[in-house]
Amino acid sequence: MIKENSEVILSVRNLHATVEGTPILKGMNFEVKAGEIHAIMGRNGSGKSTFSKVLAGHPDYEVTDGEIIYHGENILDLEPDERALKGLFLAFQYPLEIPGVSNLDFLRVAYNSKRKAQGKEELDAFDFEDLVEEKLNIVKMEASFLERSLNEGFSGGEKKRNEILQMALLEPSLAILDETDSGLDIDALKIVAQGVNQLATPENATVMITHYQRLLNYVEPDYVHVMQGGQIIKSGGKELALELESRGYEFLEEQAIASEVTA
Protein backbone atom coordinates (compact mmCIF):
# COMPACT_ATOMS: atom_id res chain seq x y z
CA MET A 1 0.00 0.00 0.00
CA ILE A 2 1.53 3.27 -1.13
CA LYS A 3 0.83 6.21 1.12
CA GLU A 4 2.02 9.76 0.83
CA ASN A 5 4.34 10.95 3.62
CA SER A 6 4.74 7.59 5.30
CA GLU A 7 7.94 6.88 7.19
CA VAL A 8 11.03 5.73 5.29
CA ILE A 9 11.98 2.38 6.82
CA LEU A 10 14.97 1.49 4.67
CA SER A 11 17.18 3.61 2.53
CA VAL A 12 20.11 1.98 0.75
CA ARG A 13 22.51 4.34 -0.97
CA ASN A 14 25.26 3.42 -3.40
CA LEU A 15 25.83 0.08 -1.68
CA HIS A 16 28.91 -1.87 -2.79
CA ALA A 17 29.72 -5.28 -1.30
CA THR A 18 32.19 -8.08 -1.96
CA VAL A 19 32.48 -11.70 -0.98
CA GLU A 20 36.03 -13.03 -0.70
CA GLY A 21 37.22 -10.02 -2.66
CA THR A 22 34.77 -10.45 -5.56
CA PRO A 23 32.45 -7.45 -6.02
CA ILE A 24 28.81 -8.50 -6.06
CA LEU A 25 26.84 -5.36 -5.25
CA LYS A 26 27.92 -2.43 -7.37
CA GLY A 27 26.03 0.69 -6.40
CA MET A 28 22.68 -0.47 -5.09
CA ASN A 29 20.04 2.21 -4.42
CA PHE A 30 16.79 1.22 -2.82
CA GLU A 31 14.14 2.81 -0.63
CA VAL A 32 11.22 1.29 1.26
CA LYS A 33 8.47 3.15 3.12
CA ALA A 34 6.05 1.93 5.72
CA GLY A 35 3.09 0.04 4.31
CA GLU A 36 4.83 -0.91 1.07
CA ILE A 37 5.43 -4.28 -0.52
CA HIS A 38 8.38 -4.50 -2.89
CA ALA A 39 9.50 -7.29 -5.19
CA ILE A 40 13.09 -7.62 -6.35
CA MET A 41 13.46 -9.82 -9.39
CA GLY A 42 16.41 -10.83 -11.48
CA ARG A 43 18.36 -13.73 -12.86
CA ASN A 44 20.64 -16.01 -10.90
CA GLY A 45 23.83 -14.19 -10.03
CA SER A 46 22.31 -10.74 -10.31
CA GLY A 47 23.05 -10.08 -6.62
CA LYS A 48 19.53 -10.45 -5.16
CA SER A 49 20.40 -12.96 -2.46
CA THR A 50 23.63 -11.16 -1.63
CA PHE A 51 21.63 -7.98 -1.13
CA SER A 52 19.37 -9.73 1.40
CA LYS A 53 22.33 -11.19 3.30
CA VAL A 54 24.18 -7.88 3.39
CA LEU A 55 21.06 -6.24 4.82
CA ALA A 56 20.90 -8.91 7.55
CA GLY A 57 24.63 -8.60 8.28
CA HIS A 58 26.09 -11.92 7.13
CA PRO A 59 29.78 -11.93 8.17
CA ASP A 60 31.00 -13.35 4.83
CA TYR A 61 30.06 -10.17 2.97
CA GLU A 62 32.11 -7.02 3.18
CA VAL A 63 30.53 -3.66 2.49
CA THR A 64 33.11 -1.57 0.66
CA ASP A 65 31.07 1.55 0.00
CA GLY A 66 27.68 3.13 0.55
CA GLU A 67 25.29 2.94 3.47
CA ILE A 68 22.24 1.18 4.80
CA ILE A 69 19.97 3.56 6.68
CA TYR A 70 17.31 1.75 8.66
CA HIS A 71 14.79 3.89 10.55
CA GLY A 72 17.18 6.80 10.18
CA GLU A 73 20.21 4.94 11.53
CA ASN A 74 23.20 3.58 9.65
CA ILE A 75 23.25 -0.10 10.66
CA LEU A 76 26.39 -1.19 8.82
CA ASP A 77 28.36 -1.67 12.04
CA LEU A 78 25.64 -3.63 13.80
CA GLU A 79 25.77 -7.38 14.42
CA PRO A 80 23.07 -9.53 12.79
CA ASP A 81 21.29 -9.97 16.14
CA GLU A 82 21.32 -6.22 16.78
CA ARG A 83 19.73 -5.62 13.39
CA ALA A 84 17.15 -8.29 14.12
CA LEU A 85 16.27 -6.69 17.44
CA LYS A 86 15.65 -3.43 15.62
CA GLY A 87 12.99 -5.19 13.59
CA LEU A 88 14.82 -6.40 10.49
CA PHE A 89 13.94 -9.95 9.50
CA LEU A 90 15.36 -12.19 6.79
CA ALA A 91 13.41 -15.28 5.76
CA PHE A 92 16.13 -17.60 4.48
CA GLN A 93 16.15 -19.17 1.06
CA TYR A 94 17.65 -22.27 2.69
CA PRO A 95 16.73 -22.29 6.39
CA LEU A 96 19.36 -24.23 8.35
CA GLU A 97 18.67 -27.53 10.05
CA ILE A 98 19.93 -27.48 13.62
CA PRO A 99 19.67 -30.91 15.27
CA GLY A 100 19.25 -30.89 19.02
CA VAL A 101 17.72 -27.42 19.26
CA SER A 102 13.99 -27.85 19.63
CA ASN A 103 11.91 -25.58 17.45
CA LEU A 104 9.93 -24.44 20.48
CA ASP A 105 13.02 -23.57 22.54
CA PHE A 106 14.51 -21.73 19.60
CA LEU A 107 11.36 -19.71 19.03
CA ARG A 108 11.11 -18.88 22.73
CA VAL A 109 14.74 -17.78 23.01
CA ALA A 110 14.36 -15.63 19.90
CA TYR A 111 11.08 -14.14 21.08
CA ASN A 112 12.39 -13.42 24.55
CA SER A 113 15.52 -11.80 23.15
CA LYS A 114 13.22 -9.34 21.46
CA ARG A 115 11.12 -8.83 24.61
CA LYS A 116 14.27 -8.18 26.60
CA ALA A 117 15.54 -5.67 24.06
CA GLN A 118 12.23 -3.86 24.32
CA GLY A 119 12.54 -3.75 28.09
CA LYS A 120 9.62 -6.13 28.53
CA GLU A 121 9.44 -9.12 30.81
CA GLU A 122 10.31 -12.45 29.22
CA LEU A 123 7.47 -14.92 28.69
CA ASP A 124 7.65 -18.19 30.60
CA ALA A 125 7.32 -21.52 28.82
CA PHE A 126 3.56 -21.80 29.40
CA ASP A 127 2.61 -18.32 28.27
CA PHE A 128 4.88 -18.65 25.30
CA GLU A 129 3.26 -21.89 24.22
CA ASP A 130 -0.14 -20.21 24.26
CA LEU A 131 1.21 -17.42 22.10
CA VAL A 132 2.94 -19.67 19.61
CA GLU A 133 -0.07 -21.93 19.20
CA GLU A 134 -2.10 -18.93 18.20
CA LYS A 135 0.51 -18.01 15.58
CA LEU A 136 0.63 -21.55 14.21
CA ASN A 137 -2.74 -20.92 12.55
CA ILE A 138 -1.20 -18.27 10.34
CA VAL A 139 0.93 -20.87 8.58
CA LYS A 140 -1.40 -23.81 9.28
CA MET A 141 1.28 -25.77 11.10
CA GLU A 142 0.61 -28.62 13.51
CA ALA A 143 1.73 -28.13 17.12
CA SER A 144 3.85 -31.28 16.74
CA PHE A 145 6.31 -29.21 14.69
CA LEU A 146 7.29 -27.35 17.82
CA GLU A 147 8.63 -30.46 19.49
CA ARG A 148 10.94 -31.34 16.62
CA SER A 149 14.50 -30.14 16.18
CA LEU A 150 14.73 -26.84 14.34
CA ASN A 151 14.03 -27.56 10.65
CA GLU A 152 15.55 -31.03 11.00
CA GLY A 153 13.95 -33.35 8.48
CA PHE A 154 11.40 -30.67 7.52
CA SER A 155 10.27 -30.67 3.89
CA GLY A 156 11.03 -27.58 1.81
CA GLY A 157 7.51 -26.26 2.35
CA GLU A 158 7.63 -26.91 6.10
CA LYS A 159 10.88 -25.00 6.41
CA LYS A 160 9.44 -21.99 4.61
CA ARG A 161 6.31 -22.07 6.75
CA ASN A 162 8.52 -22.21 9.79
CA GLU A 163 10.27 -19.06 8.56
CA ILE A 164 6.92 -17.28 8.29
CA LEU A 165 6.02 -18.53 11.78
CA GLN A 166 9.19 -16.89 13.11
CA MET A 167 8.23 -13.73 11.28
CA ALA A 168 4.76 -13.84 12.83
CA LEU A 169 6.29 -14.09 16.31
CA LEU A 170 8.97 -11.47 15.88
CA GLU A 171 6.69 -8.96 14.11
CA PRO A 172 9.45 -7.23 12.14
CA SER A 173 9.10 -3.74 10.72
CA LEU A 174 10.97 -4.88 7.62
CA ALA A 175 10.70 -8.46 6.36
CA ILE A 176 12.96 -9.60 3.55
CA LEU A 177 11.80 -12.86 2.00
CA ASP A 178 14.63 -14.47 0.07
CA GLU A 179 13.16 -16.81 -2.57
CA THR A 180 10.50 -17.84 -0.10
CA ASP A 181 8.46 -19.20 -3.01
CA SER A 182 11.14 -21.51 -4.36
CA GLY A 183 10.54 -25.20 -3.87
CA LEU A 184 6.93 -24.75 -2.81
CA ASP A 185 3.98 -26.56 -4.31
CA ILE A 186 0.90 -24.51 -5.04
CA ASP A 187 -0.84 -25.29 -1.74
CA ALA A 188 2.22 -24.41 0.34
CA LEU A 189 2.72 -21.28 -1.75
CA LYS A 190 -0.84 -20.16 -0.98
CA ILE A 191 -0.35 -20.76 2.74
CA VAL A 192 2.91 -18.82 2.79
CA ALA A 193 1.42 -15.99 0.71
CA GLN A 194 -1.63 -15.76 2.98
CA GLY A 195 0.70 -15.58 5.95
CA VAL A 196 2.68 -12.75 4.39
CA ASN A 197 -0.50 -10.84 3.53
CA GLN A 198 -1.89 -11.33 7.00
CA LEU A 199 1.27 -9.96 8.59
CA ALA A 200 1.52 -6.89 6.34
CA THR A 201 0.33 -3.71 8.07
CA PRO A 202 0.49 0.04 7.29
CA GLU A 203 3.39 0.30 9.77
CA ASN A 204 5.67 -2.40 8.38
CA ALA A 205 7.08 -3.28 4.97
CA THR A 206 7.93 -6.40 2.98
CA VAL A 207 10.59 -7.03 0.38
CA MET A 208 10.17 -10.21 -1.65
CA ILE A 209 13.14 -11.51 -3.59
CA THR A 210 12.04 -13.89 -6.31
CA HIS A 211 12.82 -15.38 -9.68
CA TYR A 212 9.28 -15.79 -10.76
CA GLN A 213 6.14 -13.80 -10.97
CA ARG A 214 4.24 -16.76 -9.42
CA LEU A 215 4.39 -15.49 -5.81
CA LEU A 216 3.29 -12.04 -6.97
CA ASN A 217 -0.09 -13.50 -7.99
CA TYR A 218 -0.76 -14.05 -4.32
CA VAL A 219 1.13 -11.22 -2.69
CA GLU A 220 0.58 -8.12 -4.72
CA PRO A 221 3.60 -5.80 -4.79
CA ASP A 222 3.42 -2.02 -4.90
CA TYR A 223 6.79 -1.87 -6.66
CA VAL A 224 8.78 -4.28 -8.77
CA HIS A 225 12.53 -3.84 -9.24
CA VAL A 226 14.85 -5.73 -11.55
CA MET A 227 18.42 -6.40 -10.51
CA GLN A 228 21.26 -7.01 -12.90
CA GLY A 229 25.01 -6.94 -12.24
CA GLY A 230 24.64 -5.85 -8.63
CA GLN A 231 22.34 -2.89 -9.32
CA ILE A 232 18.69 -2.16 -9.81
CA ILE A 233 18.35 -1.53 -13.53
CA LYS A 234 14.62 -0.90 -13.66
CA SER A 235 11.80 -0.17 -11.27
CA GLY A 236 8.09 -0.06 -11.93
CA GLY A 237 4.68 -1.16 -10.72
CA LYS A 238 3.33 -4.69 -10.57
CA GLU A 239 2.80 -4.67 -14.36
CA LEU A 240 6.60 -4.86 -14.75
CA ALA A 241 6.55 -8.37 -13.32
CA LEU A 242 3.97 -9.43 -15.90
CA GLU A 243 6.04 -7.91 -18.66
CA LEU A 244 9.09 -9.84 -17.46
CA GLU A 245 7.05 -13.00 -17.38
CA SER A 246 6.00 -12.64 -21.01
CA ARG A 247 9.14 -11.09 -22.52
CA GLY A 248 11.95 -12.46 -20.31
CA TYR A 249 14.83 -10.48 -18.89
CA GLU A 250 16.51 -9.95 -22.28
CA PHE A 251 14.45 -6.96 -23.30
CA LEU A 252 15.54 -5.11 -20.16
CA GLU A 253 19.17 -5.96 -20.70
CA GLU A 254 18.92 -4.69 -24.28
CA GLN A 255 17.31 -1.52 -22.99
CA ALA A 256 20.04 -1.14 -20.39
CA ILE A 257 22.77 -1.54 -22.98
CA ALA A 258 20.96 0.86 -25.30
CA SER A 259 20.65 3.46 -22.57
CA GLU A 260 24.32 3.09 -21.70
CA VAL A 261 25.21 3.63 -25.34
CA THR A 262 23.02 6.72 -25.64
CA ALA A 263 24.34 8.04 -22.36
Partner 1 sequence: MTVETSPTPYTPTLNLPPDAPSDEFLNQLLRQSEQQKVNIHTEISGWLQELRQRSAYDVTKQRMPSRKDEEWRFTDISELLGLTFQLPQSGELTKNAIAPLTLPEAKQTRIVFVNGIFAPNLSDTSGLPEGVYAGNLSNLPLDNCYEAIKYIAYQDGDKELFTALNSTGFPDVAVIWANPNVIVETPIHLLFISTVEEQPSFTQPRGLVIAEQGASLQVVEHFAVASDNQCSDIPKNRPYFNNNVTEVFIKENARVNHTRNQRESGDGFHIGKTAVSQEKHSHYTCNAITLGGKLSRHNLHIWQKGESTETYLNGLTLIGREQLADTHSALYLQYPHGVTDQLHKCVVDDQAHSVFNGKVHVPQAAQLTNAGQLNRNLLLSPKARVNTKPELQITADNVKCTHGATVSQISADELFYLQSRGINAENARNLLLDAFAGEILERLPVASLQKVLAQCVACRTYE
Q: Which residues bind partner 1 (CB under 8 A)?
A: 56-60, 79-81, 83-85, 89-90, 92, 95-96, 98-101, 105-106, 109-110, 113-114, 117, 149, 166, 170
Taking the least distance from each CB to partner 1, the nearer of 72 and 100 is 100
In the complex, the smallest distance separating the C-beta of residue 190 from partner 1, rounded to whole angstroms, is: 25
Contact 20, 205 (CB under 8 A): no
Cβ-based nearer residue to partner 1, 107 or 252? 107
Q: Which is nearer to partner 1, 26 or 58 (CB)?
A: 58
- φ, ψ for residue 126 (rounded to 5)? -70, -50
Q: Min. distance of Cβ 257 from partner 1 in angstroms?
A: 37
Distance CA 43, CA 29 (A): 18
What lies within 8 Å, CB to CB, of 238 at 6+ separation is 39, 216, 220, 221, 222, 224
Could you tell me how many helices (H) and strands (E) the chain has, helices first?
9, 12
User: Cβ of residue 6: shortest distance to partner 1, in angstroms?
Assistant: 25
Q: What's the closest the beta carbon of residue 103 comes to partner 1, in angstroms?
A: 12
Residues whose CB falls within 8 Å of the CB of residue 167, separated by 6 or more in sequence, listed in order: 89, 91, 175, 195, 199
Using the minimum distance from each CB to partner 1, give the nearer residue, 2 or 109: 109
What dihedral do alpha carbons 133, 135, 137, 143 form, nearest 10°?
A: -30
Degrees to nearest 5, angle at CA 207 with 211 and 41: 25
Q: Please state the closest distance from residue 72 (CB atom) to partner 1, in A.
A: 20
Residue whose CB is less far from partner 1, 110 or 256: 110
Q: Least distance in Å: CB of 242 to partner 1?
A: 32
In 28-102, which ranges are continuous DSSP H helix? 48-56, 80-85
